[in-house]
Structure 1
Amino acid sequence: MKEKILDTATELFLNLGFKSVTMDDLAEELGISKKTIYSHFKNKPELVKECTLGLFHKIAHGIDCICKEDKNPIEELYEIKRFALLNLKNEKSSPQYQLKKYYPQIYATLHKKQFELFKDCVRINILKGMEQGIYRGNLDVDFVTRIYFAGMTSLKDEAIFPRSQFAILELMDNYLEYHLRGIATPEGRNILKTILISNQD
């Protein structure tokens, strides 16, 4: 039952937001009593924490699997973006923004874990791209890794990118292209062009 509660709560939080979903809503969705939920989770913050960390570990595992497929680094970043958005339901409710606002301690823990995962993943991606000649050879790897993470994080800040004006999918597509055009060699830009044309079809 605990796993079912976690799965349903995660789905509701992603679709409706952490603030909007109450324990009553969750109990009704599951067709159980709140008492049953509280027998597994002492309060809503504990449930939110387990949902967010569970989702993080699921996405981290998926990204690890993608990185082991030995795609070229540009294809790899697009595949990771697709996988993350699929699992975050295109972030309909801006979950990270709500998490930061209403559950700052949980957000801080998650943000730290995301940075560690991102730092390792993107660093390896950049080094591989430089070795293959599709990223420029003079890149400051640590700088590019951190600025890419900072930019991706800012896309989810509704004060900067309000959802009424910017769809998250379009934002991530634009930012990924912006990032890659800044670090790619002519050969890398040809690969990027092929992917962009393929994505339009």
Structure 2
Amino acid sequence: MIATDTVERIRTQANDLFMQYGFRSVSMDDIATKLGMSKKTIYQFYADKDELIDAVVEQVLLQNKECCVSDVKTADNAVHEIFLAIDMVVEMFSKMNPSLLFDMQKYHPNAFAKFQKHKNDFVYNVVKENIVRGIKEELFRADINIELIARFRVETMMLPFNPEFQSKVRLNMIGIHEGLMIQYLFGLASPKGHKLILKYQQERNKK
């Protein structure tokens, strides 16, 4: 039990530091100092920084899956589900260093491969099922090429992390994410769905 608690404590603290500063900027010394323990103790549970990053990424992806599944179940309809997803990602981006994904892709390919698989398999299926749901609810247009638009949506998820794109549109990660999601949603919408989007936008702006 003590070992399990220590593993989780190390992973949680590492996650907090990685989210704040990025993977490359945080050393094992930094993590040890923040935890008030020696690097030797950390290495008893994680062989190296790569293994620790793998564990952190796995946990983040698991939490993302749980949030997505919960949103699907609690959403009143397909449009509402997307607004819940927007809020989930806004909260995540508010705590995330913009360099995180770039660091992972360049320096930690195993962790990045896990992220890519999650995006291309799990997230793709969530997006695809949302479109199917929206069509059935008559909130999305019936003529949508579901696979094409689902793949398009999954690929545009990477744009908020692109520094060159950020500089050209003069928006931060949250601004890009929200803007793309709303445009994506309006592109899917039927006249009935269009009215519902405006309703959710008004409610959201009041908060």
TM-score, with length taken from structure 2: 0.90
User: Aligned residue for 2:204?
Assistant: 199
Q: Tell me what 2:21 maps to.
A: 16
Segments ≥4 residues shifted beyond 6 Å: none
Instruction: Find the counterpart in structure 2 of residue 46 from structure 1.
Output: 51
1:125-144 alignment runs, 5 A limit: 125-144=130-149
Q: Return the alpha-carbon distance in structure 1 between the equivalents of residues 107 and 58 of structure 2.
A: 16
Deviations 1:24-70 (A, max 9, x none): 11011111111111110010011011101111011111111111124
- Equivalent runs, 1:1-201 vs 2, <5 Å: 1-87=6-92, 89-162=94-167, 165-201=170-206
Do the aligned residues in 2 keep the contact of 1:155 with 1:172 (CA within 8 Å)? yes
Residue identity in the other structure for 2:150? T
Shift in alpha-carbon separation, 1:164–1:74, aligned structure 2, 3 A = closer
In 1, Cα distance between the equivalents of 2:27 and 2:169? 25
Q: Is the 8 A contact 1:135 1:183 kept in 2?
A: yes
Alpha-carbon deviation of 1:89? 4.1
**One-letter amino acid of the counterpart of residue 132, structure 1:** E
Identity %: 22
- Please say if residues 160 and 174 of structure 2, whose CA atoms lie closer than 8 Å, have aligned partners that are also in contact: no
| SS of residue in 2 equivalent to 1:91 | coil
Superposition deviation, residue 87 in structure 1: 4.0
Does the CA-based 8 Å contact 1:27-1:37 persist in structure 2?
yes
Residues 49-105 of structure 1: per-residue CA shift (max 9 Å, x gap): 110111101111111111112421111111122223424544234321221122123
Distance 1:73 1:94, change over 3 A: farther
Distance in structure 1 (CA, Å) of the matches to 2:166 and 2:203: 27
The amino acid that maps onto 1:183 is: L
Calculate the TM-score normalised by the size of structure 1: 0.93
Structure 2 Cα separation of the partners of residues 123 and 12 of structure 1: 34
* Root-mean-square deviation (Å): 1.8
* CA deviation map 1:126-156 (0-9, x unaligned): 0110011110001010001000111112222
Q: Distance in 2 between matches of 1:177 and 1:73?
A: 13
